[in-house]
Amino acid sequence: MRRIGARLLAFAVVIAAAITPAVAEQVDVELVLAADGSGSIDDDELALQRRGYAEAVTSRDVLDVIRGGLIGKIALAYVEWGGPGSQHVIVDWMVIEDETSAQAFADALVSRPRAAVGYNSISAAIDFSVGLIESNAYEGLKMVIDVSGDGPNIGGRPVQFARDDAVAKGITINGLVIAGPGGVVRRVANEPLDEHYRRDVIGGPGAFVMTVERTDAFPTVVRRKMVLEIADGGTTVRQ
């Protein structure tokens, strides 16, 4: 009888463990870097983007602002996106809290092959990034999606709908507009692309847009952008 009782108790413990949800790891920010990997971005530009983000993640400025948070660490994922059916996790969620974890993320980022195809579904990129945030194992004091691109939303549902749904879930969306050759910002319906991002893409507390007008400025702009996203607030900035 004692053996049966012990077995029943052990079984109950196993069942309780199985149905008890895991406790989410606390971080200051859950941040998805959603970078344009569409057909308008050639291999050299894609490599430039990845190196820029890799340099930013490992920079002293970014690491200092991470360490200065209430918890002292963030959860970071990197996505590249193209058409409506082409969103790809290049580096899955990693906790960044020191030089070692930042370098591991950077090494993974620059070594992975490109995957995205098609053209410019920013809305699908936002929806995909929201899903990553909702399904991860972290609980951030804030949640941010960082969308970068060189063109407007083309495929998928209207980007304003995706933006509004994300903001309703407490997620902030920021934008990074990439200029074309000669630093010329693409125009959409006779207005600069950054205005399209400002009106239709970004949203949530402290949301902002930055613009990269020169390729050599990309790492600097990305670093500044990440510092603002990890710290509180942020205003519209143009480089």
Rounded average pLDDT over 15-29: 70
Rounded average pLDDT over 197-215: 93
Rounded average pLDDT over 107-135: 96
User: Which has the minimum average pLDDT: 46-60, 206-220, 225-239?
Assistant: 225-239
* pLDDT, position 20: 42
Domains of the chain listed by start with CATH number: 25-230 (3.40.50.410)
Rounded to an integer, what distance in angstroms lies between the CA atom of residue 65 and that of residue 227?
6
Q: Is the pLDDT confidence value at 172 over 90?
A: yes
Q: Is the pLDDT confidence value at 47 over 60?
A: yes
Do the Cβ atoms of 177 and 208 come closer than 8 Å?
Answer: no
pLDDT band at 191 (very low <50, low <70, confident <90, very high): confident
Rounded average pLDDT over 2-12: 49
Do the Cβ atoms of 175 and 210 come closer than 8 Å?
Answer: yes
* pLDDT, position 238: 32
* pLDDT, position 12: 47
* pLDDT, position 216: 81
pLDDT band at 7 (very low <50, low <70, confident <90, very high): low
What is the average pLDDT score of the chain? 88
* pLDDT, position 175: 97
pLDDT band at 187 (very low <50, low <70, confident <90, very high): confident
pLDDT band at 188 (very low <50, low <70, confident <90, very high): confident
* pLDDT, position 75: 98
pLDDT band at 29 (very low <50, low <70, confident <90, very high): very high
Question: Could you give the maximum distance between any two Cα atoms of the chain, in Å?
Answer: 83
For residue 233, which phi and psi values (nearest 5 degrees)? Answer: 85, -160
| Per-residue pLDDT tens digits for 63-105 | 999 999 999 999 999 999 999 999 999 999 999 999 999 999 9
List Cβ neighbours of 216 (8 Å cut-off, separation of 6 or more): none
Neighbours of 154 (CB within 10 A): 15
HSE at residue 24, side-chain half, CA atoms within 13 A, is 16
Q: Is the pLDDT confidence value at 234 over 70?
A: no
Do the Cβ atoms of 101 and 92 come closer than 8 Å?
Answer: no
Percent of the chain scoring above 70 in pLDDT: 85
pLDDT band at 21 (very low <50, low <70, confident <90, very high): low
Helix axes 218-230, 43-58, angle to 10 degrees: 50
Neighbours of 178 (CB within 10 A): 24
Rounded to an integer, what distance in angstroms lies between the CA atom of residue 101 and that of residue 58?
9
